[in-house]
């Protein structure tokens, strides 16, 4: 049985947060602020194997430093509690940066690691674009696979008891059944080991994209966003104009030179004709 828990969140703080209640209690939305990363404690869902994914946006020139800080934070935890499983950093011709870091963490550290990762991004003038958590009910799968394995083992014992004193043809059929039962038990045991491994380590992925963070509590953010769009549009327009000039200027220069030579030649020819007359 597979249970999927999906949390897709664009981080809205300050102006988008709920006001405190008059009775002093807080809501679930109040609890998810800039001081806490979205997450699920392992004690809240025992037997569920979670996977965390965070998408960040921050200035291109700061992505490498933040990525290095996240990697260093994992290394400080030690290989028994955190391991780096993937890394990517790419920069295109337009100086746009796209990067990724993958980790395997002890389940009880995954939520705190995500929270600290968000703080590092925000300190670099970045923001969270999205956060997603998916979960698989590994405990239920382990129970189902254990029953499958035990049933196959019991079948093997039954076949062994039945094979005593049987004829050659019957024994050959029992041997085939025995091999099938042993294979089923081995397959179930391997799947159990895989599910237990998913409970022992939690995958966490950080994706980084270049861009300016636009915060909801910043009064100037709409103007900043508009200015960024204007600069991008101007760059594209200027690039297009320069490209068009680069393509069109040489033929135009040749055409103008030919026109000048033709006018010059015609005037000289008219003068000679006038003198001859």
Largest CA distance in the chain: 135
Range(s) of the domain holding residue 163:
147-196
- Using the structure block, give the residue that is written with the tokens 């290095």: 68
Q: Is 40 within the bounds of a domain? A: yes
Q: Is 250 within the bounds of a domain? A: no
Q: Do both 182 and 214 map to the same domain?
A: no
d(CA 125, CA 210): 11
The string of pLDDT tens digits covering residues 35-90 is: 445 555 555 577 888 999 999 999 999 999 999 999 999 999 999 999 999 999 99
The string of pLDDT tens digits covering residues 64-78 is: 999 999 999 999 999
Q: Is 164 within the bounds of a domain? A: yes
Q: State which of 156, 181, 196 marks the end of a domain.
A: 196
Q: Is 72 within the bounds of a domain? A: yes
> According to the model, what pLDDT value does residue 36 have?
46
Q: Is 55 within the bounds of a domain? A: yes
> According to the model, what pLDDT value does residue 115 have?
93
pLDDT at 25 over 80: no
Q: Do both 157 and 102 map to the same domain?
A: no
Q: Is 263 within the bounds of a domain? A: no
Q: Do both 96 and 203 map to the same domain?
A: yes
Q: Do both 219 and 86 map to the same domain?
A: yes
Q: Do both 130 and 181 map to the same domain?
A: no
Number of domains observed in the structure of the chain: 2
Q: Do both 115 and 151 map to the same domain?
A: no
Q: Is 165 within the bounds of a domain? A: yes
> According to the model, what pLDDT value does residue 32 have?
40
Q: Do both 186 and 218 map to the same domain?
A: no
Q: Do both 76 and 118 map to the same domain?
A: yes
pLDDT band with cut points at 50, 70 and 90 for residue 166: confident
Residue 197 Cα to chain centre, angstroms: 22
> According to the model, what pLDDT value does residue 238 have?
78
Q: Do both 19 and 71 map to the same domain?
A: yes
The string of pLDDT tens digits covering residues 181-213 is: 999 999 999 988 888 888 889 999 999 999 876
> According to the model, what pLDDT value does residue 220 have?
46
Give yes or no for a contact between 63 and 99, defined as CB atoms under 8 angstroms apart. yes
Q: Do both 131 and 204 map to the same domain?
A: yes
d(CA 28, CA 120): 24
Q: Is 255 within the bounds of a domain? A: no
> According to the model, what pLDDT value does residue 277 have?
61
2-16, 103-117, 160-174, range with the lowest pLDDT: 2-16
Q: Do both 36 and 129 map to the same domain?
A: yes
> According to the model, what pLDDT value does residue 162 have?
83
Q: Do both 96 and 214 map to the same domain?
A: yes
DSSP-derived secondary structure for 214-231: --TT-TTHHHHHHHHHHH
Tokens of 110: 């995954």
For the chain, give the mean pLDDT.
79
């Amino acid at each position: 049985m597979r249970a999927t828990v999906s949390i897709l969140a664009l981080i809205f703080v300050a102006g988008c947060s709920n006001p405190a209640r008059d009775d002093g209690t807080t809501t679930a939305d109040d609890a998810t602020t800039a001081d806490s990363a979205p997450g699920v404690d392992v004690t809240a869902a025992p037997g569920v194997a979670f996977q965390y994914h965070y998408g960040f946006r921050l200035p291109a020139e700061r992505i490498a430093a933040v990525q290095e800080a996240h990697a260093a934070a994992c290394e400080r935890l030690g290989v028994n509690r955190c391991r780096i499983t993937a890394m990517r950093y790419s920069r295109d011709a337009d100086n746009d940066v796209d990067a990724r870091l993958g980790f395997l963490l002890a389940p009880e550290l995954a939520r705190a690691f995500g929270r600290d990762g968000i703080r590092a991004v925000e300190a670099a003038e970045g923001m969270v674009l999205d956060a997603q958590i998916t979960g698989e009910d590994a405990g239920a799968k382990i129970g189902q696979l254990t029953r499958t394995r035990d049933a196959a083992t019991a079948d093997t014992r039954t076949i062994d008891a039945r094979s005593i004193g049987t004829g050659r043809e019957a024994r050959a059929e029992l041997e085939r059944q025995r091999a099938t039962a042993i294979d089923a038990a081995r397959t179930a045991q391997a799947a159990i080991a895989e599910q237990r491994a998913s409970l022992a380590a939690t995958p966490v992925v950080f994706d980084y994209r270049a861009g300016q963070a636009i915060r909801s509590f910043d009064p100037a953010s709409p103007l900043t966003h508009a200015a960024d769009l204007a600069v991008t549009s101007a760059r594209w327009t200027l690039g297009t104009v320069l490209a068009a000039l680069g393509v069109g200027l040489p033929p135009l220069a040749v055409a103008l030179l030919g026109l000048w030579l033709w006018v010059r030649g015609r005037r000289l020819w008219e003068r000679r004709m006038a003198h001859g007359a």
